[in-house]
Structure 1
Amino acid sequence: MKLILRVSILSYMLLTFGVSMAQVVGGESVFNPEGIECVSEEDYALYHAAVAQNQAMLTQQGLRLYQNDISNFSEQQVSFAWPVQQADGFEYNSTWGISVYFDHDETTGGLQDWNCGTRTYDTSSGYNHQGVDIFLWPFSWKQVEESQTEIIAAAPGQIIFKNDGSFDRNCSFNNQQWNAIFIEHSDGSIAWYGHMKNGSVTSKNVGDTVAQGEYLGVVASSGNSTGPHLHFEVYDENNSLIDPYAGPCNDLNDTSWWADQKEYLNSGVNAALTHTNLPNFGTCPSIEETFESTQFDVGATIWFIGYYKDQVTGTSSLNQIFDPSGNLYSSWNTNFTDDFVASWWGQQRTITDQTGEWIYVVTYNGESHTHTFNVGQLSVEDQLFDEVRVFPNPTSGIVTIGAPVAFKQIVVRDALGRTVLEYLDLNSISIEMDFSSLTTGIYFVTVQGLDADTQTTVRVLKK
């Protein structure tokens, strides 16, 4: 899933609020342009053998919930929930897009997805893509670093394969094992979740059960991968491939396996963000320089950028900026002249008006994302939101947290939302927290001011 940015600059004449001309900057993001196979022939043999071995072991131990005898399987087909979600503490409207579907045309060079389109790929070696790839957008490597997008169980079931510990920042074909979880369901079907982040895979083991929606891991780029994405692949009770999407060109299964099947094109807004400069997307696997900010001086020039998935030719997005009084300050349409799976488009504005909290809203295909930012000096109490600092971060032990105003309490939660540390009844501007006993991962530190309505959350990475 290698990321390629194609940048273009357009000039639009605007007649809104005294702005005579504005430059629209942005472009397309292309994922896996070379069509690198997610799973090699050798990998498939290895994984299917491991599944069979684990099923036999669980059966022998009397621990397998769903036996090989088809008569023991439930007649009720499982119904999948969407297998990714944004972790708590993050504020994008969406963190993902769909790059490719299952290829139903087995001829080399012939492409056909479930909707009779060509949104899939194969290779000259005979590989046909056998699942759906859900990629991270925007800032995929930053998302991986901060564990922003989680993989969750699409249906309840029993773990029958697990692998963790593999390198998770791959950018090319490498024939390495991926970090993954395979889950068998009550109807005998099996779902594969691949390319997870090293160290993020659930602590549960083969034989343990999971509930629908339960955390399984974090989206990354382990195994054969050119960028962060989830490869989701499904087999029925006969170990035959199925495509969970129902459509006119899917002859593997007649009905959808999704509880709520998404549209073929998931056009919408992933994020509306404010920046001090244009983002630097870098090269795989470097973490992007986003230049995101929510605090600006009066007179500062701000980049207002919308991030989209599945933009469609002939459509447009509406961008609006509202001042602290709620009045519309500026608005413009971004007109789309291409079909892009992922894209970003922005304009500059220099704000010399009111100080306080401003709002930037991007609307596309009936979906909106609202982003707040501050212009001018924050009040003393509100500085708690913008100036809480933790160091060192990442950390392997002691973390110092400080703020320009006194805070009352601090609560530290893990990626599953469980409270792991608490510091209550404080009246301090700085304390030390001991993370040494916590496991590796992302933690969310919520700081509450002396005013209970004033709080902020910062992320800390435990090495």
Structure 2
Amino acid sequence: MKTIYSNFALLLFFAFTLTSYAQNGQTLSIDEGGDYPILRNDANHPCITPEQYKIIEKQCVANIKLLGLENVGHKGTNTTSFIWPLKTANGLNDCSYYYIGNYLDQDSTSPGIKDWNCGLVTYDGHQGTDICTYPYPFYKMDNNQVEIIAAASGTIINRVDGNYDKNCDWSNGNANYITIQHADGSVAMYWHMKMNSLTTRQIGQTVVAGEYLGIVGSSGASSAPHLHFEVLSGITINTLNDAYSGPCNTLNANSWWAVQKPYTEPAIIEASVHPMLAVLPPCPATETPNEDSCFAAGSSAKFYTFYRNETAGMVDSMRIANPDGTTFTSWTHTSNVSHLCSYWISTKTLPTVAGTYNFEAKYNGMMCSKSFTIECGTAGISENKSGSAIYAYPNPLYSSTTLWSDKTFKNAILTIYNSFGQQVKQIKNISGQTVTFHREYLPSGLYFLHLIEGDEIYTTYKLLITNN
């Protein structure tokens, strides 16, 4: 999946107008967004080159001969049925996690393109299905949040690992991948896997449907994590099949899926709440989502909605639900343009009453939500009555400052808020009498430091960051 990441810091952050909202009041949204900044592979940058196909085919044929599997299947009828080859892991609880970047190209005339549904979600010569992880694909990859699983039971006939998995150019097309032969002689290939994530099972060993194979990565000709999933009815490339059945599939009449997903799946992938904008740096750096679930009363927050197959004319209804389920504020977004993957941001002023709230987004009949808490760090916490002195030096600061106290802390928490009341940084497990605070990515301005130990606030300290 050819990808060029833009610096998604979205410096319009400070240009947004902040508005106070009354509970249960309909409000105007402040939107920023559009296409998620990913470009897909194209004919000039294919997932797998013709030269690589020749090497793969030669290796698989040789391995099948060594394993004595030459006569497996080949009865003229394929009986394999696939489950979905991805699943979530490591606590990922988004509403979904993928979109289809490219289908197989059914048009044999170059440069014409056509997918199985007679659409254009493909590129010239593409021979598989690209299932792309999203949003924050590199973050998901680094944290092993999307696993590749066997779509059907079979025998591993090829396995390659150890190749770099964060390519940003096309000089290294060597991917990490697994190829599996099924009982009817058909073959499935899983391409672009994360380096050193592959199953410990080796060539010649069997796997069952649903068994772990690896992590979605970006090895080979790819600059964003995705799974290139490819199906052959035999072992050679001239037995290429499309996993999907449809009006423009000229390769095979039947679907390989046990339950074929629809051509488009308009849905909200994730609804999330952020004290500041997400950062999507250029490849190969990992994204910083900057999501949070704890906010100061009356501060503002960024409400993100990430879409798969956003469709022109559809309406997304959003609201912030109070702890009792009533509406604090609500707004809508109408899709004016169709996108494969997209996002929208709304900036809202938060409630002033402490409690746990829900951000709810409803699109195409489906609900996606995320809870957040107002004043979660201070509920039930008493003010400092110990008389302990706390100082910061230097203040103002340029790069870092050290906080010092005449009290010895144990497992204290330092939380930093900007002038809008948004939490921008937190340091946990502070023990001793000093803690050093590094500016890192924070812009110049006034900040407030909350130092808490157990059930007691020791200080709310003002700190000024300058650029000189």
Greater Rg, structure 1 or structure 2? Answer: 2
Q: Does 1:347 align with 2:346?
A: yes
Matched to 2:111, the amino acid is G
CA offsets 1:430-452 (integer angstroms, 9 cap, x no match): 9xxxxxxxxxxxxxxxxxxxxxx
Tell me, in whole angstroms, the C-alpha distance in 2 between the residues paired with 1:152 and 1:43: 23
Which of 205, 209, 213 does residue 212 from structure 1 map onto? 209
Deviation at 1:371, TM superposition (A): 0.8
Matched to 1:271, the amino acid is E
SS at match of 1:22: coil
Tell me, in whole angstroms, the C-alpha distance in 2 between the residues paired with 1:176 and 1:103: 20
CA offsets 1:24-61 (integer angstroms, 9 cap, x no match): 111102533561200012211111111011101111xx
Q: Does 1:70 align with 2:74?
A: yes
Q: CA 1:358 to 1:16, structure 2 compared with 1: closer, same or farther past 3 Å?
A: closer
Give me the TM-score of the superposition, normalised by structure 2. 0.75
Preserved CA contact (<8 Å) 1:16 1:331: no
Quote the residue 2:150 is aligned against. Answer: 153
Deviation at 1:380, TM superposition (A): 8.1
Quote the residue 1:183 is aligned against. Answer: 180
Q: CA 1:121 to 1:348, structure 2 compared with 1: closer, same or farther past 3 Å?
A: same
Deviation at 1:354, TM superposition (A): 2.0
Supply the RMSD in Å over aligned alpha carbons. 2.8
Deviation at 1:343, TM superposition (A): 0.5
Deviation at 1:320, TM superposition (A): 1.7
Q: CA 1:15 to 1:283, structure 2 compared with 1: closer, same or farther past 3 Å?
A: same
CA offsets 1:387-413 (integer angstroms, 9 cap, x no match): xxxxxxxxxxxxxxx9779xxxxxxxx
Preserved CA contact (<8 Å) 2:177 2:192: yes
Quote the residue 1:271 is aligned against. Answer: 270
Structure 2 unaligned regions, length at least 5: 382-409, 414-428, 431-468
CA offsets 1:214-245 (integer angstroms, 9 cap, x no match): 11000110011121110000100363000010
Preserved CA contact (<8 Å) 2:25 2:328: no
SS at match of 1:110: coil
Quote the residue 2:116 is aligned against. Answer: 114
Deviation at 1:117, TM superposition (A): 0.8
Quote the residue 2:225 is aligned against. Answer: 228
Tell me, in whole angstroms, the C-alpha distance in 1 between the residues paired with 2:105 and 2:380: 56
Q: Does 1:303 align with 2:302?
A: yes
Q: Does 1:43 align with 2:52?
A: yes
Preserved CA contact (<8 Å) 1:4 1:29: no
Quote the residue 2:91 is aligned against. Answer: 89
Quote the residue 2:326 is aligned against. Answer: 327
Quote the residue 1:54 is aligned against. Answer: 63
Q: CA 1:162 to 1:381, structure 2 compared with 1: closer, same or farther past 3 Å?
A: farther
Q: CA 1:319 to 1:246, structure 2 compared with 1: closer, same or farther past 3 Å?
A: same
SS at match of 2:147: strand
Quote the residue 1:245 is aligned against. Answer: 244
Q: Does 1:357 align with 2:372?
A: no
Aligned residues: 375
Preserved CA contact (<8 Å) 1:149 1:219: yes
Deviation at 1:289, TM superposition (A): 2.1
Quote the residue 1:385 is aligned against. Answer: none
- Higher-RCO chain (CA-CA 8 Å, sequence separation at least 6): 2
Matched to 1:304, the amino acid is F
Matched to 1:157, the amino acid is G
Tell me, in whole angstroms, the C-alpha distance in 1 between the residues paired with 2:175 and 2:51: 13
SS at match of 1:306: strand
Matched to 2:50, the amino acid is E
Matched to 1:167, the amino acid is Y
Deviation at 1:378, TM superposition (A): 4.0
Structure 1 unaligned regions, length at least 5: 123-127, 383-401, 406-428, 431-463
Matched to 2:32, the amino acid is V
Q: Does 1:23 align with 2:30?
A: yes
Preserved CA contact (<8 Å) 1:31 1:99: no
Deviation at 1:377, TM superposition (A): 3.2
SS at match of 1:45: helix
* Moved beyond 6 Å, runs of 4+: 6-11, 13-16, 379-382, 402-405
Tell me, in whole angstroms, the C-alpha distance in 1 between the residues paired with 2:341 and 2:263: 14
Preserved CA contact (<8 Å) 1:324 1:355: no
Matched to 2:195, the amino acid is N
Preserved CA contact (<8 Å) 2:61 2:235: no
Tell me, in whole angstroms, the C-alpha distance in 2 between the residues paired with 1:120 and 1:15: 47
Tell me, in whole angstroms, the C-alpha distance in 2 between the residues paired with 1:341 and 1:183: 30
Q: CA 1:101 to 1:15, structure 2 compared with 1: closer, same or farther past 3 Å?
A: farther
Give me the TM-score of the superposition, normalised by structure 1. 0.75
SS at match of 2:34: strand
Quote the residue 2:160 is aligned against. Answer: 163
Matched to 1:316, the amino acid is V
- More moved, 361-370 vs 262-271: 361-370
Deviation at 1:16, TM superposition (A): 8.6
Quote the residue 1:442 is aligned against. Answer: none
Q: Does 1:101 align with 2:103?
A: yes
CA offsets 1:252-310 (integer angstroms, 9 cap, x no match): 11011111111111111110000011212121121112211111111221111111110
Tell me, in whole angstroms, the C-alpha distance in 2 between the residues paired with 1:381 and 1:228: 44
Deviation at 1:329, TM superposition (A): 1.0
Tell me, in whole angstroms, the C-alpha distance in 1 between the residues paired with 2:181 and 2:380: 52
